[in-house]
Amino acid sequence: MAMEMRLPVARKRLSESLGRESKKHLVVPGDTITTDTGFMRGHGTYMGEEKLIASVAGSVERVNKLICVKALKTRYNGEVGDIVVGRITEVQQKRWKVETNSRLDSVLLLSSMNLPGGELRRRSAEDELAMRGFLQEGDLISAEVQAVFSDGAVSLHTRSLKYGKLGQGVLVQVSPSLVKRQKTHFHDLPCGASVILGNNGFIWIYPTPEHKEEDAGGFIANLEPVSLADREVISRLRNCIISLVTQRMMLYDTSILYCYEASLPHQIKDILKPEIMEEIVMETRQRLLEQEG
């Protein structure tokens, strides 16, 4: 058994350790961004007393004449085409309510759901009664955003065989602003596990399935016990993702993989210690810079 007690150590400021030359323009709600009225207002800003004022805490981004403030920690704002991982909270008449870390519960309509066997037909009253057989409260699903309602609520669909109910795995909840937008969010990492980087900040790590089950259509969740080796890989990935998030690094397949490789000399449970976390993320940052430059 391991027990480590220590005295707290003051954390170093990140910018000093990085030696960053270009400082980001950080604002808090109420800060004036600019008094120049020639700019267009984007998200996170409002006009007050002839000045442009920030309404969220984050960094200012400027694209030509558009100024917006990108918040560091927000709820998920849905965009059409995003991949999300969500948890079913309610089963209603013709739809499920899904929790996706946004301001309103997302909606998964029965008509947007794949039926077993991949058949295409109108949903009948029997399908409605059998809804709970497909997805129950507490189930995790991966889905894509089909539409965004006027109040900001998101409508999901699972009309592809790669979406559907998720089986064995580990869920990590991070801030949506840390998930990088990429072409694909389903990654099979070479270390032996697969990961789904939901745009809403829910990250699902699961063991890579040996063969793709095409006919099930994402309904039958695989509930066989996971082997110890796979579980170690998944735990290590989970701890790496948490250390990247603590150091505010963007999450995408390359950064997660580099972090995993940097963490291999350490024991899985040691990764979450503050000094080892800093060391691993520093190494990841350097490798990413080398790869870019």
Partner 1 sequence: SHSIPVRSSETEDLRVDGRGCEDYRCVEVETDVVSNTSGSARVKLGHTDILVGVKAEMGTPKLEKPNEGYLEFFVDCSANATPEFEGRGGDDLGTEIANTLYRIFNNKSSIDLKSLCISPREHCWVLYVDVLLLECGGNLFDAISIAVKAALFNTRIPRVRVLEDEEGSKDIELSDDPYDCIRLSVENVPCIVTLCKIGYRHVVDATLQEEACSLASLLVSVTSKGVVTCMRKVGKGSLDPESIFEMMETGKRVGKVLHTSLQSVLHKEESLGPKRQKVGFLG
Q: Which residues contact partner 1 by CB under 8 A?
A: 1-11, 138-140, 166-171, 221, 223, 225-226, 228, 231-232, 234-236, 238-239, 267-269, 271-274
Contacts 24+ apart (CB under 8 A), 241-245: 241/172, 241/174, 241/203, 241/205, 242/172, 242/272, 243/271, 243/272, 243/277, 243/280, 243/281, 244/178, 244/281, 244/284, 245/172, 245/174, 245/175, 245/178
From residue 85, alpha-carbon distances to 117, 198, 221, 268 in Å are 22, 5, 15, 25
- Residue recorded with tokens 């990088």: 180
What's the rounded Cα separation, in Å, for the pair 270 and 225?
25
What's the rounded Cα separation, in Å, for the pair 182 and 203?
14
CB of 1 to partner 1, least distance (A): 4
CB of 3 to partner 1, least distance (A): 5
CB of 260 to partner 1, least distance (A): 13
Nearer to partner 1, 4 or 36 (CB): 4
Residue 170 identity (one-letter amino acid): V
Nearer to partner 1, 2 or 120 (CB): 2
CB of 43 to partner 1, least distance (A): 25
CB of 166 to partner 1, least distance (A): 7
CB 158 within 8 A of CB 112: yes
CB of 239 to partner 1, least distance (A): 6
Angle at 205 between CA 201 and CA 208, to 5 degrees: 145
Q: Which tokens belong to 150?
A: 């006027």
Q: Which tokens belong to 66?
A: 């558009």
CB of 37 to partner 1, least distance (A): 38
Nearer to partner 1, 259 or 271 (CB): 271
Nearer to partner 1, 19 or 138 (CB): 138
Nearer to partner 1, 265 or 293 (CB): 265
Element (H, E) at 288: helix 274-292
What's the rounded Cα separation, in Å, for the pair 119 and 42?
43
CB of 291 to partner 1, least distance (A): 27
Nearer to partner 1, 60 or 206 (CB): 206
Nearer to partner 1, 52 or 113 (CB): 113
Nearer to partner 1, 147 or 220 (CB): 220
Q: Which tokens belong to 218?
A: 């994402």
CB 183 within 8 A of CB 81: no
